Each structure stands twice: as C-alpha cells, then as structure tokens.
Structure 1
Amino acid sequence: MLGTMATAASKRLSTRDSVTPAQPGLNVTVVRLLAVALTISKGSASVPSGSAPPIPVGYRQWPCVTTVVKSGRKVFRLRFYVGGKGLFTRDQDSFPVGTVFIVESSPWVSDDSAERRGGSLFVMEKCVGVCSGEPGVGSGESWIYARYDAHGRSTEDEPGACGVCRLPLTVSAEVM
C-alpha cells in the first residue's frame, strides 16, 4: 500500500480543486510531505508521545490537492492540505518548524454536503522538540501527528488500514 500511494501521488494528483499558478510546486510539496507522513507513522495512526497537533481552524482554505482513489469496491476522496509555512519550501530544504500537513480522507460522494460522512483526518506538524535523529529533521525539531474522525475525536489504529489515508492495506488502490 505504501508503494501504491507514493506511486499514485507521484503519477497523478488530480487537481479537481484548482492549483493556481501562485502554487506551482504544490504537487511536489504534497508528495514530499506524504512521504514524511508515511515514514513517521510507519503505517500506524497512533499518537506519538507528547502532545498531538490540533485540527487547525480554517484549514480548508489552505492550498489543496484532491485525488479520487478506488480501493476494492469503494471509492475515496483524498484531500491534501499544506499550511503556509511549508508551502514554498525548496526541494533541497528541510520543511520549517510550523509546517502543517493534513490528509482528509472520505468516502467519495458527488454531493459535497455529505463529504465528511465517515471521513477522517491525519494532521502532522513540524515543531520544536528534542533531537529525534530522523532523516530530514534538523536538531531540535520533530514531527508530531494525530488522527481524527469526522467529528474531531482522536482515533485509534484501525487494523488493516493505512495510518495516513485509511485505505485498506490489503487491497491495491488505483487513482481514478
């Protein structure tokens, strides 16, 4: 599944929500942050020790890339939001402290008013912390993350599902 998501993200991140010329590197930024999310969560949505990042107010106004993915018989919409601090980070640079990345996963329905039904959020933030020794993380910096349900409640691991996007791990996914 991890290879499938990374491949899908690099091949074709559908831009059903427009990516304006002011954010030409948004797709690359999303792929980089998705790689970090998959690496630090190791496929698990457990909240690491320390405080979990809150769901940022107004994140749906942030730059976003949307893709629709079919997994088994179900179709999911994945939205990848990037907070301002990490948006214009050059490829060769580490993301700055304060970078926030959100993956919103929901069963795809054509009616946007129902989009949050059964959905989930993965929130990841780079913050000042103890030296983690992880690649791509500077001294005194660390990534924290948490998973929330559609009602904003913290959630536990779901066996057999990706910790970031919640798609089943045992079924190959395809970008539509």
Structure 2
Amino acid sequence: MGQQPSYDDFLRAKAAIAPRFGGMQVDEATLNRSTRKPEAAEDRMKTIEQLTASETTWYSSNDTEVWHGGPYATREEAEDGAKAEEHEWIMRATKFPIRVSEFFSQGCFFEAAEESLYDQSNDEGDPILDFTPAINLDLQSRVQAAIDEWQVAHQLSPMPWRFSGSDEPEIAAWAKAKEGGAA
C-alpha cells in the first residue's frame, strides 16, 4: 500500500493544474506552511497479533459458573465492583479474541464447492476441483492471510463468552468482612 500524499502535496498539485482550469488562488504561505502531519491510520491500527492477544482481567459474580461483573483492569476495581453489585466472588481470567482466519478450512470449502458443482460433473460424480495437496495448502494459507488482512482493516477483535483460563474464584473482601472473616 502506497503512502498517502500530504495536504501540502495536494495544495501544490492543485496550484500546478489551476491554470488549466480557470485559475485558483493559492498563496506562497499556504503552499509552504509547516503543519504537523496527521498520524496515518496505518500507524494507529493494531496488527492481527495485537487484535488477538490474550486479555487477562478480573470479574465478579454471585455464581462461580457465570461471571456478570467486569471485566475490571485490576483486583481493586474488581473488589469495588463486587461490593457495588453485591457480588460475593471475584476471579482473574483470560480470554483470547478470535482470529477469524483459523476457522477457514480449504477441505470444507472444496467439499461445499463440489456439492454445488454436482450437476456439472460426469456420470460417476468425479470431483472437478481435484487439486494436489500443495495447491490446496496454498489456498488455505492465502485465504487465511486475506481473512487476517480483512480483520486488521476493520480492527475486529471478537471476544468469546467463555474464558480460556482462570485462577480459582476467591471470596470478595466485602463478603469476607460481612461473614466476619479477615478481608
């Protein structure tokens, strides 16, 4: 992907072609103004690795199977949230956002394509899209790369509902204090 021209480049080009289109007034100060270049969108965008990096945060709940409170960045926030929502349990847990490309399968793709092409095959129903394993793997890697590019372009970081891993649930400090235990 090429670099976008700056606004100054745009003004210079516009001034250069202005005489051919009836003229345009652009003074030297406008052409030579020094401005801070805006940060390119590509510079701010997360990579696929960043979009799918694990997130370990804190949660609170009254049910150790379903965690309603959170995510909280710190244990202290989880304790505060648990107290505010009267949740007796807190837990630190990890989730991995979904890398969409991992769900593309060239085998499933060719199977669905062959099914769609059934009416166009011979009387024995021989496969039409019968390629070598190397070609199939090439399709797999190219499509996965395209899906990764699409996920990055749209900055998608779909988060699953379930945790990938967690610590043992703990009784929240306010609940311990309420029961007379040490907080």
If each structure's strand is expressed as a fraction of its own residues, which one has the higher value? Answer: 1
Larger-Rg structure: 2
Which structure: greater helix fraction? 2
| Fold shared per TM-score above 0.5 | no
TM-score (norm 1): 0.20
Normalized against structure 2, the TM-score is what? 0.20
